[in-house]
A and B are shown apart, each in its own frame.
Chain A
Amino acid sequence: MKMEDIVKTYISKNGNQVKALNNINYNFKKGKFYAIMGQSGSGKTTLINILGLVDVPTRGKYFFNGLEVQKLSNDKLSEIRNNEIGFVFQHFYLNNRLTALENVLLPTLINKKHTKEEIIEKAKKLFNNLGLESRMNHYPNELSGGEQQRVSLIRALINEPSVILADEPTGNLDYNNELEILKLLKEVSKEKCVIVVSHNPNIKKYADIVLNLDKGVLNEN
């Protein structure tokens, strides 16, 4: 994921221009765990949105697996997001109307890579690996915070993406669950590009590369 001179500006309510990202140049690679640290308002969420193909930069170029993102259609971006990117959110964001297994299978509804049987088999394996085999048919409100975040991680992994984007994944967890999640992300980063945005200083122990985002400018520590 290569960013060249990326700038993102917003127009505030009083008509002023706000520069959320200011000339970002960076190349994120597979097999690395990146931690992006920064204060509130530093542009972390904007950066995640652009990296995740949810938003487009105002200026600059962003290449994902060699493809220039600005030249791609919305449908193509959705397809890439479904196949190549897994999101993990601070508030887990599981659909309360679906069981844990159904939540995990949600991204597979529009993915034709595998058959339904293969997908379910893979999901069950992931549930087992993360110690949630007995929780598959429970609804999110029946799961603890740590369990919900693990389900969220399984959902992010189900389509075998090359990138995991996590925005404050441990923000709502206690210490033990926090460490659990960070260990899992570290494990996952051996074969994928894992980018975690966080305030949490503990993350530095697990990250291969720590980046600092300050007033829209990205620097490597």
Chain B
Amino acid sequence: MKTKELFLLGFKSLKFLSLRKKIFLVIQIVIMLLILIPFGFYSVFSNAAETIINNQYEFREISLYGTSNDYEKYKSVLNEYENNHIVYIDELATPNIRAYTSVDSRNNFILKRKIEGFVPEVTNGNELNNKYDIICPEMATDVNFEELNYNDLINLEEKIGKTINLNFLNSDDELVFSQEFNIVGTYNADFYYSYNTCYILNNTFDEILSKNNSDLKEDSDTVKDLFILYVDSNENVEEITNYLENNDIMVSVPKLDDKIVNYILLLSIFIMIILVITSIIILINYFKNYYKEEYYNIALYKALGFKEKDIIKIIFIENILLIFVALIVSIVLFIFLKIIVTLYLHQFVAFRIAEIRLSIIPLFIYYLIIILLNYVFLKIDINEISSMSIKRIGEL
């Protein structure tokens, strides 16, 4: 019997489904959707983790802690470090400067130095050139982003070429001085988890620091950031850290807490295993009893002279077509769900990079398992199919 004819017979059978087959179809759609969801949502977290690790320069910074008395020792150790993995050393400085748009408000922008490899790519406008040039996020805020809705961000891309007045306060929250900056360019802050970070030239940064009078040398007993090292890659952070620790220097390296990502992965795998076992039980039950519902058709095929292998092929194709329908429907439903959830998540700045992925491979592996079970049970039950159909022909 030709394959084309088998498939045509199979398609015809899909037009008229019994209640049992309809229930089975719905169960398979639900199971396949449940397979897609953990893989799809796991990718949100792994995607975020990967982005943070690879893009966020904070994880290539090493802070050296000590009192003022440790300064000379640390300086000497750093001078003896021979490899060229340190891009920049920030001495006796806070890594950030807080700049307030309003003296009365507690909301602030964070100003950072322009360090090669540590400044995001300018997507609109120009790079820093002049003393009071500033690069800002395309969509920006001076509010803490964890509480922020994306719709509340201000579009600074429109303000390229315009100025922004920033105020600098002392530790008593008193205004020390104000400075006007020219917004020369903007960058996409979605991947940096910080919509209030702006960049200025190194010299300008030092100048503002000195005006703010943040010389830490005088306070000799307080443990503070004596140096901040900017490392060229994540791979070299460990090497430098080991070198410093071997020289009795206190270091601090921001690390991504990947525990939550691993927990989600383990949970996903656990759910998968439960789903697959449940599904296999359902499938075994379905395939074992399939022929009981189909015995009239089987008896008819036998009476018409179809061989057992032809009958197996017909039933096999009917089943895999039925489950293929479930596969397509589950993928369509998942895409629909993905669109809705992504639209919802992207309102929140913390989930701007969220991407729910459609993982076809686990679904097709599951489909292959079904095909295998289908075939195995047909082969096992063929004798019973045969004898039952003989009996049923008589009843026809």
Interface of A with B (CB < 8 Å)? 45-46, 48-49, 52, 54-55, 74-75, 78-83, 85, 87, 89-91, 93, 95-98, 102, 106-107, 109-111, 155, 167
- Closest residue to B2 on the A side, CB-wise? A109
- A54 x B390 contact (CB < 8 A): yes
* Minimum CB distance partner of A85 in chain B: B305
- Judged by DSSP, the binding face of B is helix
User: Bound state CA distance, A187 and B393, in angstroms?
Assistant: 26
Q: Are B390 and A82 in contact (CB under 8 A)?
A: no
Given the contacts A55-B390, A97-B15, A110 and B310 also touching, CB distance less than 8 Å:
yes
User: Once the chains are docked, how many angstroms separate the CA of A81 from the CA of B307?
Assistant: 10
B-side residues, CB < 8 A to A, are: 1-2, 5, 9, 12-13, 15-16, 296-297, 300, 302-308, 310, 386, 390, 393-396
Tell me whether B304 and A106 are in contact (CB under 8 A).
yes
B393 and A81 contact, CB distance less than 8 A:
no
Residues in B neighbouring A89, C-beta threshold 8 A = 396
Given contacts A54-B393, A90-B396, contact A78 B16 (CB under 8 A): no
26 contacts between A and B (CB under 8 A): A45-B394, A48-B394, A49-B390, A52-B303, A54-B393, A74-B307, A74-B308, A74-B386, A78-B307, A79-B305, A80-B305, A81-B302, A81-B303, A81-B304, A82-B305, A83-B305, A85-B305, A87-B304, A93-B296, A97-B12, A97-B16, A98-B12, A102-B12, A106-B304, A110-B1, A110-B306
A95–B300 CB distance below 8 A: yes
List of A residues within 8 angstroms of B395 by Cβ: 45
Q: In whole angstroms, how far apart are the Cα atoms of A106 and B1 in the complex?
A: 11
Question: Are A167 and B396 in contact, with the CB atoms below 8 A?
Answer: yes
Nearest chain B CB to A105 CB, angstrom units: 10
Which residue from chain A places its CB closest to the CB of B395 in the assembled complex?
Answer: A45
* Minimum CB distance partner of A105 in chain B: B5
Residues in chain B near residue A75, CB distance under 8 A: 307-308
A91 contacts which chain B residues (CB < 8 A)?
A: 396
Which residues of chain B come closer than 8 Å to A78, judged between CB atoms? 302, 305-308
A171 vs chain B, min Cβ distance (A): 11
- B305: which A residues are within 8 A, CB to CB? 78-83, 85, 107, 110-111
Which residue of A has the minimal Cβ distance to B310? A110
Measured in the bound complex, the distance between the Cα atoms of B18 and A97 in whole Å is 12
Q: Name, among A54, A75, A89, the residue most crowded by chain B CB atoms within 10 Å (CB to CB).
A: A54
What residues on B are CB-neighbors of A98 within 8 Å? Answer: 12
Residue of B nearest to A56 (CB): B390
B5 cross-chain contacts in A, Cβ below 8 A: 109
Contacts of B394 on A, CB cut-off 8 Å? Answer: 45-46, 48-49
Contacts of A54 on B, CB cut-off 8 Å?
302-303, 390, 393
Report how far A95 CA is from B296 CA in the complex, Å. 9
C-alpha spacing A9/B308, complex, angstroms: 25
Q: A87's contact among B296, B303, B306, B310, by CB below 8 Å, is which?
A: B303
Q: Is the CB of A109 within 8 A of B1?
A: yes
From the candidates A49, A74, A102, A111, name the one contacting B393 in the complex (CB within 8 A): A49
Residues of A within 8 A of B390 (CB): 49, 54-55
Shortest CB-to-CB span from B16 to chain A, Å, is 5
CA distance A10 to B393 in the complex (A): 16
CA distance A85 to B305 in the complex (A): 9
Which of chain B's residues has its CB closest to A84's CB? B305
